[in-house]
Amino acid sequence: MAEVENQAWLEQVKQLRQLLTAAEPTAFRTTFLELHSWEQAQFFLGLEQAERLTLYTVLTASEVGNFFDDIDDDDQALPEFLAEMPSKFAAKMLTEMYTDNAVDILEHLDKGTINHLLAQMPQQSALDMRRLLHYEDETAGAIMTTEFIAIAADQTLAAAMVALRANAADAELIYYVYVLDQAQRLAGIISLRDLIVNDQQKMVQEIMNERVISVQVTDDQEEVAQTIRDYNFYAIPVTDDENRLLGIITVDDIIDVIDDEAASDYSGLAGVDVEDTSENPLKAAAKRLPWLVTLLFLGMSTASLINHYESLVSEASVLAVFISLITGTAGNAGTQSLAVAVRRLAFPDQARTFLSSLLAEMVTGVVTGLVTGVTITLVVGFWKHSFILGSVIGLAMCCAIIVANLAGSFIPGLMARLGFDPAVASGPFISTLSDLTSVLIYFSIAQYFVTSFVQH
């Protein structure tokens, strides 16, 4: 079924490109405007520059703005798209978009280009965009939209419905209607259902819900996402210190935030930017090298430690067989603990403190370490016919897993408390650190038993 739909889409794209290049504007517009805005965006992204230039002459700025709302704001080609448009067309297109989406695009441009485009917009639109550009990245203010419905508390529901109809076309979401007092402070909220089912002669303040969950304009976007997730909201109001309504954040923007945060955390765990998969190989190598070089020097510490115990390995060469087994298992345990810790920090459990989480991870490490240690003790004991050697390997693995679990849980928590992104404690870093500690533990334990298992 999916293959059939994909083939149909490819045929439609081919037809649209033929209409566009054959200068059949009426036929192209008829077919193109029947598509969903997301499909229009996908078609646009697949065009060559010459085709895009033709498209700007066939569609209005409003029609282009409609599907630009569905283009990922992280798309690296956005500055190129705006640069190839006539400046008045680009300014008009941005004005027709939802304000928060237009601002996301403007953030890709240099200051001079931004000012040039804003100067060609209606005064109020330019003012709204400048306000949003002013807020710091990854805050509620940076992701909110100013296109919402607000009504006065001292009016009837009939008057509120008139205001709703007048402004609904420009609002990003009309399910919630926000109620303001005479000082323009957020006083309550009414759902669209409440507006429809109640007596139209009732006053707004009679039926509004005065308990409004809101966020501050400076709140971190992750905290906002957590609030919307907890309450299952479609949108949440954004206020300033005086409780004045500045904007709203809709659930579609929060989905983008969750997606971005997940990609950021995964990038941190992998030690590489996983979002840009089409990056130039040389640029990709330049971004990965700092981590690799740093880990190389940390790995040299492990190599130096092994060299320090060279005489011990010479005396009992069998020890060398199990180095990679212990370091690899400890590294895996540390990476598992790291992933859980970063997830816990992204979605905190109010019932658990940092210390209780650390204690729980230590217990987990002890249990997994004991089970793994006993298992490898029996395997090595029967394999090498020496349960003394098996005990050395098992004890070393048990201790190494416990330490790796603690490191994977403690380091992200420490970074978060110091104000750093906990995902920076990446999987490669934890794995390399676990190599160092597990080798130290392994040879320290082996020293005490070397005489016994050499005799065996």
Q: DSSP letter string over 406-440?
A: HHHHHHHHHHHHTTS-GGGS-HHHHHHHHHHHHHH
For domain 281-455, give the fold.
Tetracycline Repressor; domain 2 (1.10.357)
Give the architecture-level CATH label for domain 150-260: Roll (3.10)
Is the separation of the CB atoms in 433 and 327 below 8 Å? no
Position of tokens 């941005």? 94
Per-residue pLDDT of 303-328, as tens digits, reads 888 888 888 877 778 888 888 888 88
The token pair that represents 411 in the structure block: 């380091």
Q: What is the mean pLDDT of the chain?
A: 84
**Does the pLDDT value for residue 230 go beyond 90?**
no
**Mean pLDDT, residues 56-82 taken together:** 89
**Mean pLDDT, residues 238-262 taken together:** 85
Per-residue pLDDT of 409-431, as tens digits, reads 887 777 767 766 665 556 677 77
User: What kind and span of H or E run contains 219?
Assistant: none
Q: CATH for 2-134, among 3.40.1710.10, 1.25.60.10, 3.30.429.10, 3.30.930.10?
A: 1.25.60.10
Per-residue pLDDT of 127-137, as tens digits, reads 989 988 888 88
Task: In whole angstroms, give the CA distance from residue 101 to residue 83.
Answer: 18
List C-alpha distances in Å: 49 to 72, 87, 105.
19, 16, 19
- So what's the pLDDT on residue 268? 57
Per-residue pLDDT of 21-63, as tens digits, reads 887 889 999 999 999 999 999 999 999 999 999 999 999 999 9
3-state secondary structure of 309: coil
**Does the pLDDT value for residue 292 go beyond 80?**
no
The percent of residues in the chain predicted with pLDDT above 70, rounded, is 88
**Among 177-181, 239-243, 402-406, 450-454, which is the least confidently predicted range?**
450-454
Q: H helices of 309-386, where?
A: 310-315, 323-346, 354-384
- DSSP-assigned beta bridge partners for residue 239: 216, 245
Is the separation of the CB atoms in 326 and 396 below 8 Å? yes
**Does the pLDDT value for residue 398 go beyond 80?**
yes
**Mean pLDDT, residues 229-242 taken together:** 90
**Does the pLDDT value for residue 406 go beyond 60?**
yes
**Mean pLDDT, residues 88-104 taken together:** 92
The burial class, CB within 10 Å (0-12 / 13-18 / 19+), for 199 is exposed
C-alpha neighbours within 13 Å on the C-beta side of residue 326: 31
- So what's the pLDDT on residue 1? 45
The token pair that represents 34 in the structure block: 């029947």
Listed by start position, the domains of the chain span: 2-134, 150-260, 281-455
**Does the pLDDT value for residue 221 go beyond 90?**
no
